[in-house]
Structure 1
Amino acid sequence: MYDDILFPTDGSDPSKEAFEYAVDLAATYGARLHVLYVADTNRDSVTTIGGEVVDALETEGERVVADVEERAREHGVEAVTEVLQGDPSTTILDYADDRGIDCIVMATRGRSGLKGLLLGSVTDRVVRQSSMPVLVVSNDE
């Protein structure tokens, strides 16, 4: 049923909880887990350190996906990792379409009411625009 599962992560605590669902689903179906971190180009994250241009979000993303890849291996799940720049929801959906992803597993912080409406949500946009199933793991803060 599932050969390729996408787990977009930002390294947050809600994402860490969603990982458990993603890795269990991948293990159950013998699926490959795609771990994606999107360095949000809507935010300024580039700086110069010692004369070298460094993108702090890309650096953080590399650390996050390496950690998730190691945790997936501990569960016996093959993981493919990638750090991309872009608008998070658009990049997630493009990645899923380009790679034939069967299911997306992602976290939401469970915001509701005016706060959720004003802040928007990457997860909400992915759910509304995805052509494949999306498993949303809620974390009420």
Structure 2
Amino acid sequence: MHVLVPLDNSDPAQEALEHAVREYSDAEITVLHVVNPNVSMYGEGGVYAYDSVIKSRREAIQSQFDKAREAAAAHDVSISTKTVVGNPSREIVAYADEHDIDHIVIGSRGRDGARRVLLGSVAERVVRRAPVPVTIVR
């Protein structure tokens, strides 16, 4: 079994990782971080510094990957890590489809009400589009 755990810098993502290493300790686990290239997220100067912003985000996730490896090691599990650039929900689904993933474990952002209806969430889009079962961890 191959389990995919999308990771960002959020508590729900960390909870998802903990769940995955606890519940799927015999599985191959890949931790995936998606760098969102939407320059509007990085302020007005983001469009001019696109390459450096992407490079910076790739470097910044390394400390999260180190924490993920430590969490997995606490359960005697090893993980592999991967970073891609793109729309988070699309890239998660594409990665699952292209790498023979059997299950996705993803953290919920906990959005509710009008915000959820208007904006949606990465987890919700992944659930709707994923070619495999998805567990959402709160």
Give the match for residue 41 of structure 1. 37
Identity of aligned residues (%): 37
CA contact (8 A) 1:39 1:85 kept: yes
Give the match for residue 104 of structure 2. 104
Give the counterpart letter for 2:30 in structure 1. Answer: H
Give the match for residue 134 of structure 1. 134
TM superposition score normalised by structure 1: 0.83
* Cα distance in 2, alignment partners of residues 124 and 65 from structure 1: 24
In structure 2, relative to structure 1, the CA distance for the partners of 1:111 and 1:75 (3 Å cut) is same
* Cα distance in 2, alignment partners of residues 6 and 59 from structure 1: 21
Q: CA deviation at 1:78?
A: 2.0
* Cα distance in 1, alignment partners of residues 69 and 31 from structure 2: 7
DSSP-derived class of the 1:93 partner: helix
Structure 2: give runs of 5+ residues left out of the alignment. none
Give the match for residue 20 of structure 1. 18
Give the match for residue 95 of structure 2. 95
The structure with the largest strand share of the pair is 1
* Cα distance in 1, alignment partners of residues 114 and 60 from structure 2: 30
DSSP-derived class of the 2:24 partner: helix
Q: CA deviation at 1:90?
A: 0.8
Structure 1: give runs of 5+ residues left out of the alignment. none
User: Is 1:7–2:5 an aligned residue pair?
Assistant: yes
Q: CA deviation at 1:132?
A: 0.3
Give the counterpart letter for 1:57 in structure 2. Answer: R
CA contact (8 A) 1:38 1:61 kept: no
* Cα distance in 2, alignment partners of residues 132 and 119 from structure 1: 23
Give RMSD over aligned pairs: 1.9
Higher relative contact order (CA 8 A, sep 6+): 2
Q: CA deviation at 1:129?
A: 0.4
Q: When the two structures are aligned, how many residues end up with a matched partner?
A: 131
CA contact (8 A) 1:6 1:35 kept: yes
TM superposition score normalised by structure 2: 0.85
Post-superposition CA distance 1:78-136 (Å, at most 9, x none): 20101111110111111111111110001112212211112221111000001100000
Post-superposition CA distance 1:39-62 (Å, at most 9, x none): 1112455686xxx94532212222
